[in-house]
């Protein structure tokens, strides 16, 4: 048997669950490399668009990665909340996968605009109560998290933790200026929430390093590393 046949399984076994998620995101076209402008106006060599997890199979795999990361984190919570709009699908899908893993919890989400008929209001799903895990894709400034915290607190529940797909591990911006902490660090330190991350920028670099010798991703490694050195925390 040739080396190519014996090497590939070992290569796959060597990567972490987070790096497996990065590869999945790349294969799904969700994580792309090139030239992109972030909300903060930075020129980024990579872009993560969770909206492209847009078919049943991808969503199923995404929910599995989230649920496994949440269980592995050991975070204790009583229910799941999905902020409109991307968080709605994520909360529903992750709740189903958690139930499959034996952790059946209620979930709820909000509307952007209040409904004035039927059940009314802005909240849909289970009543918000106990320790609430917020599920979203990525955070760049913490604004959406603060909005979720306000909704959860107003309902008498406890905003307790946040689960996201990717932590960019880069400096946040305030009033157009870089600050020494990331959005995730802000959520942890200023807002007091535990944060579960399916993957981080370090995991992206780990995958690029893994492909350093012969993979097609190797060409992006130096640029992503330079971006991390400039903006990383």
Catalytic residues: 115, 117
Distances (CA, A) of 44 to 25, 139, 212, 219: 17, 16, 20, 15
Helix 56-73 to helix 86-100 angle (10° resolution) is 70
The DSSP secondary-structure symbol of 40 reads: T
Tokens representing 150? 């306000």
Tokens representing 195? 């944060």
CB 97 within 8 A of CB 67: yes
The DSSP secondary-structure symbol of 220 reads: G
Collapse the DSSP code of 113 into the 3-class scheme (helix H, G, I; strand E, B; otherwise coil) and give the result. Answer: strand
Collapse the DSSP code of 171 into the 3-class scheme (helix H, G, I; strand E, B; otherwise coil) and give the result. Answer: strand
Distances (CA, A) of 108 to 33, 90, 159, 207: 34, 11, 13, 35
CB 72 within 8 A of CB 197: no
């Amino acid at each position: 048997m040739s080396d190519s046949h014996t090497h590939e399984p070992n290569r796959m076994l060597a990567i972490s669950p987070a790096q497996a998620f990065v590869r999945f995101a790349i294969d799904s076209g969700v994580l792309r490399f090139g030239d992109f402008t972030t909300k903060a106006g930075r020129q980024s060599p990579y872009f993560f668009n969770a909206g492209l997890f847009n078919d049943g199979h991808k969503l199923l795999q995404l929910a599995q990665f989230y649920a496994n990361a949440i269980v592995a984190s050991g975070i204790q919570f009583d229910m799941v909340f999905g902020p409109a709009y991307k968080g709605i699908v994520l909360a529903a899908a992750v709740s189903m996968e958690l139930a499959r893993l034996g952790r059946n919890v209620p979930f709820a989400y909000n509307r952007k605009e209040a409904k004035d008929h039927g059940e009314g209001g802005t909240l849909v799903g289970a009543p918000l109560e106990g320790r609430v895990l917020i599920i979203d894709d990525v955070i760049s400034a913490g604004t959406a998290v603060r909005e979720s915290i306000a909704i959860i607190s107003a309902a008498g529940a406890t905003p307790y933790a946040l689960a996201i797909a990717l932590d960019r591990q880069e400096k946040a911006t305030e009033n157009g200026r870089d600050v020494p902490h990331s959005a995730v660090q802000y959520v942890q330190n200023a807002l007091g929430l535990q944060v579960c991350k399916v993957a981080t920028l370090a995991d992206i670099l780990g995958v690029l390093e893994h492909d350093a010798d012969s993979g097609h991703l190797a060409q992006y490694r130096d640029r992503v590393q330079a971006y991390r050195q400039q903006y990383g925390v």
